[in-house]
Structure 1
Amino acid sequence: MPQPRIPGRIPGDQLFFGRRKGRPLRAGMQALLDTRLPALAVPADVAGDPRGWFGRQMRAAWLEIGFGGGEHLAWQAAANPDVGIVGCEPFMNGVASLLRHLENDRLDNVRILADDARPLAAALPAGSLERIFVLHPDPWPKRRHHFRRLIQHASIARFHELLAPGGELRIATDDPGYLTWILARVTAHPGLRWTGARLADWHARPDDWPETRYEAKARSEGRDPVYMRFQKV
């Protein structure tokens, strides 16, 4: 018997290695998953222009991969009501947290994929995204786990394909080893240009880049986040 489709998931091979659930959700948060996620899930057919997924036509579409607790995504959605933002997060506690933000702020320009982002990234049309966010991906610090890292030469090439001309890829990390890994892969792609002017710019968080709870925790533990912006040339 075929498996039923879970709202906000795309069938197919998944490469996700992390947790899908944490501590049990409170009743109200579980209710958000049960009642709101089906209405806000990405459509079953994701091969079309994502600007048409939102009930009203959007000026542009953005993608956030691994939105954590959803603070950054919700802030961007509120600040950019004419942009449709697609968020991918397989950790269901994080999905419930984002749904709470959307309910509280009455935001209607967000769609959610409660799963690994890679099948979605493979299916979206080239040039369909104005901006892609990859904020604090899991560094998988052990060498034998480096193949699990989201940032690879192939993923950077796909991000470049998905971005419209002049589009922007934003990446953040607080792990020095992963920073070196990221820079080696992004700078190897000739179609992406760093937007900064000096190395100090890495540590300057732009005004339209709100701090998340993860960044605050990293700072409290003595780790300085790095903020990187790359433009499709």
Structure 2
Amino acid sequence: MSKDDKPATHASGAPWRNFYGRFKGKALKPSQQRYLDEDLAALSPGPVGWDENPDRTPLDLDARFGDRDVWLEIGFGGGEHLIHQAQAHPGVAIIGAEPFINGVAMLLGKIRRAGVENLSVHPGDVRDLFDVLPRASISRAFLLYPDPWPKKRHHRRRFVTPEHLEPLARVMKPGAILRVATDIPDYVRQTLEEVPRQGFDWLAERPSDWRAPWDDWISTRYEKKALREGRVPHYLTFRRQ
């Protein structure tokens, strides 16, 4: 199929979108494949088949989570921060979205070992999840050490672009908190330019507000790698207007 013949939607009904990351890495261990086979469907943020609904009907989060606040982590990597937040905030429901299936399998193993029951997992592009999340339904969102796409010609692939931020703003409640962590100075620049344009206020009054990690922070493997290589983490907090 040529580029011009590319379909407008997937078979599921989701719009066709370019995706520049990886969906799968090295072969999964048998235990990881078992986690996917046995646990993933039950941890979906919606009913069976929601992601194949051609009408893209909004998810019923009240039916899935009750009256709990719903948080969202965008690209959870190996899932250590997601598990930490679930343990620290058992009264909150947290959805993790991650297209890299190896990371999803890692998280499922950690969920089993931790025994947390307030997590849901979307093993795919968060933009497809944005399509079906109700407006003003998310109370907190995390974007932690996203792919920096360091070459200038690739900056449009970063998450902090209107393609991603506009639907994120739509699904976040007024007053909801967005946390962004990165060790890339130019990513900080772009974040501070683009996020406020979508109706967010940067909650920083002094240097310690972006130099010091959040009180309930746990250092991820990506941050530890950045520190080993001499890069400085930045912790940016925004509030939805």
Shorter-chain TM-score above 0.5 = yes
TM-score by length of 1: 0.89
Residue-by-residue CA offset, 1:189-232 (whole Å, 9 max, x unaligned): 4x311222112321100121211111111111111111111012
Runs of 4+ displaced beyond 3 Å:
none
The aligned amino acid for 1:156 is L
Q: Displacement, 1:126?
A: 1.1
Q: How many residues align?
A: 224
Partners of 2:43 and 2:62 lie apart in 1 by 14
Which of 182, 197, 203 matches 2:191? 182
The aligned amino acid for 2:44 is A
Which of 47, 63, 73 matches 1:52? 63
Correspondence 1:150-161 to 2 at 5 A:
150-161=159-170
Residue-by-residue CA offset, 1:6-64 (whole Å, 9 max, x unaligned): xxxx844243211111222221112111111111123243613424324xx24210111
Aligned match of 1:16: 19
SS of the residue 1:219 aligns to: helix
Aligned match of 2:112: 103
Correspondence 1:39-78 to 2 at 5 A:
39-43=42-46, 44-45=49-50, 47-54=58-65, 57-78=66-87
SS of the residue 1:53 aligns to: helix
TM-score by length of 2: 0.86
How big is the alpha-carbon RMSD for the aligned residues of Structure 1 and Structure 2?
2.0
Correspondence 1:1-233 to 2 at 5 A:
11-43=14-46, 44-45=49-50, 47-54=58-65, 57-189=66-198, 191-233=199-241
Q: Contact conserved, 2:159 with 2:165, CA < 8 A, in 1?
A: no
The structure-2 alpha-carbon separation of the partners of 1:131 and 1:150, relative to structure 1 and needing over 3 Å to count, comes to same
The structure-2 alpha-carbon separation of the partners of 1:148 and 1:18, relative to structure 1 and needing over 3 Å to count, comes to same
SS of the residue 1:231 aligns to: strand
The structure-2 alpha-carbon separation of the partners of 1:99 and 1:166, relative to structure 1 and needing over 3 Å to count, comes to same
Identity of aligned residues (%): 43
| Uncovered stretches (5+) of structure 1, i.e. residues with no partner | none
The aligned amino acid for 2:82 is L
